[in-house]
Structure 1
Amino acid sequence: MKRELGISLYPDHSDPKKDRTYLEQAAKLGYTRLFMSMLEVKEGKQKVKEKFKSIIEYANELGFETILDIAPAIFDELEISYDDLSFFKELGAAGIRLDEGFDGSKEALLSYNPEKLALELNMSNDVMYLDNILSYQANQPFIYGCHNFYPQAGTGLPYAFFVSCSQRFKKYGLKTAAFITSQTATGGPWDVNDGLPTLEMHRKLPLELQARHLFATNLIDVVIIGNAYASPEELAAVAKVDRYKLSLGIEFNANATELERKIVLYPKHFRRGDITENVVRSTQVRVKYADKPNPAHDEQQEFQVGDVVIGNDAFGKYKNELQIVLKPHRDPRKNRVGQLPANEHFLLDYIKPWTKFEFVAK
């Protein structure tokens, strides 16, 4: 499934001019999903329509797919019915996200709404909710999944739980989404905003690293920045992330040669299928650069987890093979050329047999 990037806006707490500027910045970088919260609306149907329709229509012009986050209380506030979703269609939305669910039969009926709005379900519960809905013969192409975000520090999902919840949706091939959090943005739906990630482990990580991680899980199709407004630098960094191939940061040693930098930044690394526990081996570079000499340097110390090493001239046929260290060891036939940043070591768990990967210089 095609993978996407998204941003979030909160019209009840934001400046319309800044919203438009933010949309423009994101659109130019290839963002295509817009999450908007309606959980806080309290101004009546007409006022809400004016506010939301203006920004959604502009987002549509820029190529965004807009999903509105709603809850049962919103229908009472706006004096509309779940049996008639035309109000959201009039706003220009492509779908609605049900922050709270019903009995399964209701969601299945909603998925056949004549407005052809997508029905996005809350993914952050490890129960048979989706299975129940689909058992009522729901209109599956119009069913999406999206995790919650968690404004309070310490309340985000633990990783194992996130995986279990997400797998319930991915096994049906549904489009899935989750949130990452900017380290500079302050906008959100509530008066508490310690960041807006889905995963607690992401709360203090760089934004682009969070995105790389979610895509690496192969469980999430749409990565959405939960808070507004991410900085231009953050937006650009996330936009550069390869959505389909694992990318690892590398901090080069000062002694790394031009040849070694070329080897590291080769864009087509993959781990051998016959794996070892000690290192990740990328062997095609030794073939590509077989005739290039590589004198020894930084070869005497004990290599540590996350170190990136390359075979030197003493390594015979394995000269210029790239390896990522998984277990500490010594081998003077290898040069230490750099290391993964400490906060990226967890990404090593995603390098499976035949996994394709690349490095991004830090």
Structure 2
Amino acid sequence: MKWGISLYPEHSTVEQDCAYIERAAAHGFARIFSCLLSVEGDPEQVKHESAELTAYAHANGMEVVFDVAPNVFAKLGISYDDLSFFHEIGADGIRLDEPFQPSQVADMTRNPYGLMIELNASCADGILPATLVHDPDRAHLISCHNFYPQRFSGLDTAFFERESAAVRELGVNLAAFIGLPRADAFGPWPLNEGLVTLECHRDLPLDFQARHLSAMGLVDDIIISNCFATEEELASIERIDRSKVQLRPALDAGITENERTVASYAKHKVRGDVSPYLLRSTWSRVEFANLDIPARPVGRGLVRGDVVVVNNESPRYKGELQLVLKDMPDDGTRNAIGTLPAHEQMLLDYLDSWSRFDILL
């Protein structure tokens, strides 16, 4: 599993790109997506500039995959059966944004340079299973979803899950994009409305997008699609634990230190016998049996997305953390320590019996 960034040298400077590579590498990022679809200039110039980028990336322990299509091959005089151009610029792989014939893709995976060949996973065109029929070198075949610059054009979540599951079933590495929700972030094209794979991610916090993809358990590599992520944004991704579902509630102003202790418990997991009203983490009530948790009136009924801790009024369950799935009355035994914003509530759908999760404070 790798975190990745994207670079668009035609819209930045070498100094900016190199500084970004250094920052990302320091935060554990290991791959770079770059785009040759809008390439201009003669092949030798493109080769020189691209080789500079890949050399600096490799010096910082990062691999580079270039986005290409048949028209790029035509512009640069490249044939599918001679990928030496990409070897000469130091590429680790090429992403085929538009399809070649399945037999050609299979042949490309057997290139003598060890280049990874990455297929577009968003088109539902059957090219991946068709390529597998032609006996590719599976060790050099990977896949990656698209990103979508235009608002409302990103992938539907159910479609994304269906197509991603199909790729996973075939045992092929899969990547997807998340986007910086900032007006000053740029990608390869003039349109600037965000650059996400999933439409539901547009305008949402970067770390949530990454946590959502991680919670699905369908994607191996997650790539920031636009430039440039700040130090804080890179660090927010580095901190994510992809082995758990991680939820970030808006905290109640009256939350106590003892309630914080329960919420930040590192071993939360959903009790196996799931209720339609609650997801329960019961081990915290054993771990924190001696904590004093006075009742704090909620002042309303409990609603989906509330994060609650059982208080002193229910001694047997005191210290248990619960996630509310369905609106229910407040009986005075539960303190609401926070509520998941609407987008964070998406993550509740990925919790089931024995799922491990964190509450991010």
What is residue 109 of structure 1 aligned with on the other side? 107
Which sits farther off after the overlay, 189-198 or 295-304?
295-304
List aligned pairs for 1:1-362, cutoff 5 A.
3-184=1-182, 185-299=184-298, 301-330=300-329, 331-361=331-361
Aligned counterparts of 2:214 and 2:343: Cα–Cα separation in 1: 17
User: Closer, same or farther in 2 for the Cα pair 1:233/1:96, shift >3 Å?
Assistant: same
Secondary structure at the counterpart of residue 186 of structure 2: coil
C-alpha distance in 2, partners of 1:40/1:31? 25
Kindly state the Cα deviation for residue 277 of structure 1 after the two structures are TM-superposed. 0.7
Q: Residue 316 of structure 1: SS of its match in structure 2? A: coil
Q: Is the 8 Å Cα contact of residues 126 and 164 (structure 1) preserved in structure 2?
A: no
Post-superposition offset of 1:183: 1.7
- Contact preservation (8 Å) 2:249, 2:344: no
Residues in 1 aligned to 2:102 and 2:272: alpha-carbon distance in whole angstroms? 43
Q: Distance in 2 between matches of 1:67 and 1:241?
A: 24
Counting aligned pairs with the same residue, the percent is 43
Q: Is the Cα contact below 8 Å between 1:126 and 1:165 reproduced in 2?
A: yes
Cα deviation code 1:285-309 (max 9, x no counterpart): 0011112232111255311111111
Cα offsets for 1:292-328 (capped at 9, x unmatched): 2321112553111111111111213111111011111
CA contact (8 A) 1:122 1:146 kept: yes
**SS in structure 2 of the partner of residue 162 of structure 1:** helix
Greater alpha carbon shift after TM alignment, 246-255 vs 140-149: 246-255
**RMSD between aligned alpha carbons?**
1.2
Task: Give, in whole Å, the separation in 1 of the partners of 2:288 and 2:235.
Answer: 33
Higher mean displacement: 66-75 or 226-235: 226-235
The Cα of 1:358 is off from its aligned counterpart by 0.1
Given that residues 126 and 161 in structure 1 are in contact (C-alpha distance below 8 angstroms), is that contact kept between their aligned partners in structure 2? no
Structure 2 distance, partners of 1:170, 1:319, is: 41
2:304–2:325 CA contact under 8 A, matched in 1: yes
The answer as to whether partners of 1:6 and 1:225 remain within 8 angstroms in 2 is yes
Secondary structure of residue in 2 paired with 1:290: coil
Q: Aligned AA for 1:357?
A: F
Matched residue pairs, number? 359
Q: Could you state the TM-score of these two structures normalised by the residue count of structure 2?
A: 0.97
SS at match of 2:57: helix
Partner Cα separation in structure 2 for residue 81 and residue 299 of structure 1: 67
Which ranges in structure 2 are unaligned for 5 or more consecutive residues? Answer: none
What is the rounded CA distance, in whole Å, between the counterparts of 1:34 and 1:312 in structure 2?
Answer: 48
Shift in Å at residue 182 of structure 1? 0.3
The range that moved more, 28-37 or 158-167, is 158-167
CA distance in 2, matches of 1:188, 1:328: 42
Which amino acid is 1:169 matched to? Answer: V
Shift of 1:209: 0.5
Check the 8 A contact 1:270/1:355 in 2, yes or no: yes
Shift of 1:255: 2.1
Gaps of 5+ in 1: none
Give the match's secondary structure for 1:12. helix
CA contact (8 A) 2:70 2:100 kept: no
